[in-house]
Amino acid sequence: MILSRVLRTRALQAPPLRVLQSLNRHASTSAAQDTQKPYYVTTPIFYPNAVPHIGHLHTLVSADILARFRRLTHPHQPVHFLTGTDEHGLKIQKAAREKGMEELAFCDSISERFRELAEKADISHTRFIRTTEQAHHDAVTHLWRELDAKGLIYKDTYSGWYSISDEAFYTDAQITRTVHPKTATEVVTSTETGSVVTYSSEITYKFRLSQFREALHAHFLANPTAIRPKSYYDQVLSWVSTEEGGALDDLSISRPRERLTWGVPVPGDEEHTIYVWIDALTVYLTGAGYPFKDLDGVAGGWPSDVQVVGKDILRFHAVYFPAILLALSLPLPQTLLTHAHWTAEQRKMSKSVGNVADPGEAMEAYGVDGVRYYMAKVGGRFKDDVDWSPVQAEKHLDEIRSLLGNFFLRITSKAIAGKLNTLSDSAPSLAELASASYLAESGEGEKHTHNREVLASLETLGDTARGYLENMEVAEALDAIVARLKLANASLTHTAPWASTTSPGLARASYLTSLETLRVCGILLQSFIPGTAGKLLDGLGVGPEERTWEWAAVGKGGDTTREVKGVPLFEGKRK
């Protein structure tokens, strides 16, 4: 029996710190070897008790930007990108019964909505996983047995607070008591999430989480970039700190079958169902091929390089999951990118309030890349909640439409083409354009200075944007690219190559400078607005083999002019 075996091993200790240090060394070494390990990006698996909302899309887009960036900078390394749906637990059981449906049929219908969302948003995931898959069921069962074999699971009475909405247990220290203003009744909620909790007392299985506090604390002290942004890192560090957080309580990891039938049964005890978060967290291992045939799962991409999560599920991913990995002697994820939430009119989105933004409707109204651009520009700093607003969505769509789409059409206009056709000499190289002597004798050198400033700004753009994205500063990277587009647009206005007073030589200099700006920025924008960037690069005649990050440098695409076809990058107007 599980219980009797575990009772004999209550005094077991957590893995020594030297084991943790070895795991960390292994993770960093294997992550650096492109040929040995795929780059592994994950989103949370979404809970399909309701249709997708704008927050789900933000998570998908954020992860997709990082996955695409990796493909551009490491084109020979496979990128494994996992997303999917979390289909077990009380919320699903309750929602399905309210609809009068079988749980699996209910999950089938809602899960498909999340799959469709990912496809519509041009998300480049390589695996859409569902926790109702047999492979995952087998992985969860295997993980439970491994933990049990190590003496880390025991049966005990759980008494405390539970939130069906969060599918989470909370201690007295994690709840807030208030009085309802109308009914004068006490309302108890989770301090972290604001979700209503109820008190329960029942026999459950527990995981010896308390044994891993020291190892977790040591890990995060040694790896200050393990959680980004830093404000969330500081929060996690306080949770596992003796001084501030105290000892971690052992975690209840099952529910009586009489309360929860929709889930994976506890191996050897059909009267209990495995806690939905243990089930859900295991999915990252399942996606990498767990139970691993090789020693550590490197071939499947483990450990994960980036896990993108919302701040409301930080504790599960930053405390519970790493503790389980330590228990299994598996390497920990490299980085947990945590993002804040989207609000509407500065209020939390809620069905009852009626302010939930539909991501499908948003993409219909502003275009897929219009929405992706807005989310990266506004939500890509991750630290603070940001507001979804139709006014702001339209504003940001107009910005990128003007800076990129209209810019491309302006530089490929018939007026400029006509001037270029009057030139008979060979086109100057970009190096010649960047020199102070070019056009100096013609009297137009001062105007050409604007073009030279643009070319100079592009010299550092690839490295600048790369540095930001490697630090997972998505908005800052996009801002750097947009700043160059603004500079190039201003330069075009100053030089006015279409004007009758502008010489053909200056017109050509402005034309080539603008095309180089579009080429470099177009390569870098593939991470953010892939569909639009692809159309731009097609129009510029940039071949598929010249679209990786190394080509985003001035002159890298060659100094001769290509056959360029000005095409609309953004179709139609907002509905």
* Farthest CA pair distance, the chain: 93
- pLDDT given at position 14: 38
pLDDT at 18 over 80: no
- pLDDT given at position 574: 45
- pLDDT given at position 33: 45
- pLDDT given at position 562: 72
Q: 318-372, pLDDT tens digit by residue? A: 999 999 999 999 999 999 999 999 988 777 776 656 677 899 999 999 999 999 9
- pLDDT given at position 5: 31
Q: CA–CA separation, 198 vs 182, rounded Å?
A: 20
User: With bands split at pLDDT 50, 70 and 90, how would you rate the model's confidence at 312?
Assistant: very high
- pLDDT given at position 444: 86
pLDDT at 201 over 60: yes
Chain-centroid distance of CA 442 in Å reads 51
Q: In 3-state terms, what secondary structure has residue 272? A: strand
Mean pLDDT of 220-242: 94
CA nearest neighbour of 323 among 336, 332, 314, 312: 332
pLDDT at 221 over 80: yes
- pLDDT given at position 32: 45
Could you tell me which residues are beta bridge partners of residue 469? none
- pLDDT given at position 153: 98
Mean pLDDT of 7-32: 40
Greater pLDDT, 375 or 247: 375
- pLDDT given at position 289: 95
Q: CA–CA separation, 261 vs 213, rounded Å?
A: 32
Length of the chain in residues, anyone?
575
Identify the helix (H) or strand (E) that includes residue 80. strand 79-85
Q: CA–CA separation, 520 vs 364, rounded Å?
A: 29
- pLDDT given at position 163: 80
Mean pLDDT of 507-521: 96
Is the bond into 44 cis (omega within 30 degrees of 0)?
no
Let me know: does 178 contact 186? Beta carbons within 8 Å. Answer: yes
Q: Could you give the percent of the chain with pLDDT greater than 90?
A: 67
Could you tell me which residues are beta bridge partners of residue 203? 157
Bridge-based pairing state of the strands 306-310 and 39-42: parallel
Q: 394-426, pLDDT tens digit by residue? A: 999 999 999 999 999 999 999 998 888 887 777
Q: Could you give the percent of the chain with pLDDT greater than 70?
A: 90
Q: What is the mean pLDDT of the chain?
A: 88
Owner of token pair 């998505």: 474
Let me know: does 306 contact 66? Beta carbons within 8 Å. Answer: yes
Q: CA–CA separation, 399 vs 412, rounded Å?
A: 19
Mean pLDDT of 237-257: 82
User: With bands split at pLDDT 50, 70 and 90, how would you rate the model's confidence at 43?
Assistant: very high
Q: Which of 41-50, 285-294, 432-441, 488-497 has the highest mean pLDDT?
A: 488-497
- pLDDT given at position 25: 43
Is the bond into 38 cis (omega within 30 degrees of 0)?
no
User: With bands split at pLDDT 50, 70 and 90, how would you rate the model's confidence at 561?
Assistant: low
- pLDDT given at position 278: 95
Could you tell me which residues are beta bridge partners of residue 85? 46, 130
Could you tell me which residues are beta bridge partners of residue 81? 41
Q: CA–CA separation, 27 vs 126, rounded Å?
A: 22
CATH T-level topology, domain 391-551: Isoleucyl-tRNA Synthetase; Domain 1 (1.10.730)
Could you tell me which residues are beta bridge partners of residue 197? none
- pLDDT given at position 560: 59
**Distance, first Cα to last Cα, the chain:** 63
Mean pLDDT of 272-290: 95
Greater pLDDT, 184 or 6: 184
Let me know: does 240 contact 213? Beta carbons within 8 Å. Answer: yes
- pLDDT given at position 534: 97
Tokens at residue 252, please?
Answer: 């209840």
- pLDDT given at position 353: 62
Q: 536-549, pLDDT tens digit by residue? A: 999 999 999 999 99
Q: Which amino acid is at 336?
A: L
DSSP-derived secondary structure letter, 382: -
Q: For 30-34, 425-429, 463-467, 541-545, which range has the lowest pLDDT when averaged over its residues?
A: 30-34
pLDDT at 180 over 90: no
Bridge-based pairing state of the strands 251-252 and 198-207: antiparallel
Tokens at residue 434, please?
Answer: 């960047």
- pLDDT given at position 559: 60
Q: 369-391, pLDDT tens digit by residue? A: 999 999 999 999 999 999 999 99
pLDDT at 564 over 50: yes
pLDDT at 448 over 60: yes
Q: CA–CA separation, 575 vs 571, rounded Å?
A: 12
- pLDDT given at position 420: 87
In 10 A of CB 318, how many CB atoms?
26
Greater pLDDT, 566 or 316: 316
- pLDDT given at position 247: 63
Let me know: does 495 contact 452? Beta carbons within 8 Å. Answer: no
Q: Which of 119-128, 294-303, 439-448 has the highest mean pLDDT?
A: 119-128
Q: For 172-186, 203-217, 353-367, which range has the lowest pLDDT when averaged over its residues?
A: 172-186
CA nearest neighbour of 281 among 235, 336, 201: 336
From the number of C-beta atoms within 10 Å of its C-beta (0-12, 13-18, 19+), residue 476 rates as middle
> Between helices 17-31 and 213-222, what is the axis angle to 10°?
40
Tokens at residue 235, please?
Answer: 């929060």
Let me know: does 404 contact 528? Beta carbons within 8 Å. Answer: no
pTM of the model: 0.89
Q: 48-100, pLDDT tens digit by residue? A: 777 899 999 999 999 999 999 999 999 999 999 999 999 998 888 888 888 89
Mean pLDDT of 470-487: 98
pLDDT at 29 over 80: no
Mean pLDDT of 289-299: 81
